[in-house]
Amino acid sequence: MNFNGIISLLFACIEFLLLFNLLVFIKKSRFSNVALTMIALLASYQLMEFIICQFNLTASFYPYLVFVIISFLPPLNLLLVFTLIDFKHKLITYLIFLPAFFFSIYYLFVIPEFEVVKCTVLYASYHYPQGDLYGVFYYLPILISLILLGKFIRKEKDKKKKNAANLLFWGAIFISLPVIVGFALMFSGNYSIISAIESIMCKFAFVYAIILSFVCLYNSPFNDERNYFKYLFNNKQ
């Protein structure tokens, strides 16, 4: 029996459940909308990876689609941080998405260069063009997010916002661990993790999806789900 991609399916199912839970139980805001979009993209990526590995979809279009999905995660996370810290600069907010749009369009013209190199139970490896340049623009928003959150945590007085920032900060540190390990191994001549870094990071990001869910519920006026229908009833009066 082929179990390739089965962990991706497991994570996808849980992330879709988290998404459904949030859609039902939280009050919509700019912060929650960005968080919901991120969880939806993470779940879609995991489901797509499962389908690719389970059904041996080797056509170049499928890994291209996977990279389009994950390209928007770092700028969305930076937008989430902007929202939390009340950073309001529309031009910069739009500019942070330019690299994701650029690579989505550029890669559209070089789709044949995409390749599914390897599938395992836990992760998949891909070959794609301009990997180094893509990596710079992929990790840069994550680094900026960490810097902004670190500064915000030191200065913020509001306990609720500070707690949310702490969770996001340590969540971002956690999903960055594969990158740190991957580059350390790469300098010693081992490229095994680097070749699958996006897939492994998205597995680590499963924890980040849980953190996003918790932060959204924590900041919801009915973070105790038992009060949800009471909240709805009172709002209709």
Q: Which two tokens stand for residue 67?
A: 């990279």
In a domain? residue 235: no
Q: What is the DSSP string of 2-28?
A: --TTHHHHHHHHHHHHHHHHHHHHS--
Burial (CB count <10 Å: 0-12, 13-18, 19+), residue 160: exposed
Best CA proximity match to 167, nearest among 198, 209, 200? 209
Tell me how many domains the chain contains: 1
Strands 115-119 and 124-127: antiparallel
pLDDT (tens place) for every residue of the chain, 237 residues total: 578 989 999 999 999 999 999 998 888 889 999 999 999 999 999 999 999 999 988 899 999 999 999 999 999 999 999 999 998 888 888 899 999 999 999 999 999 999 998 898 988 888 888 888 888 899 999 999 999 999 999 998 888 889 999 999 999 999 988 888 877 777 777 766 777 888 888 999 999 999 999 999 877 665 454 454 455 555 554
Residue-number span of the structural domain to which 12 is assigned? 6-223
Indicate whether 236 belongs to any domain: no
Q: Contact 75/138 with Cβ under 8 angstroms?
A: no
Q: How far apart are CA 146 and CA 208, in angstroms?
A: 14
Q: What is the pTM of this model?
A: 0.89
In a domain, residue 229? The reply is: no
Rounded Cα distance, 17 and 15, in Å: 5
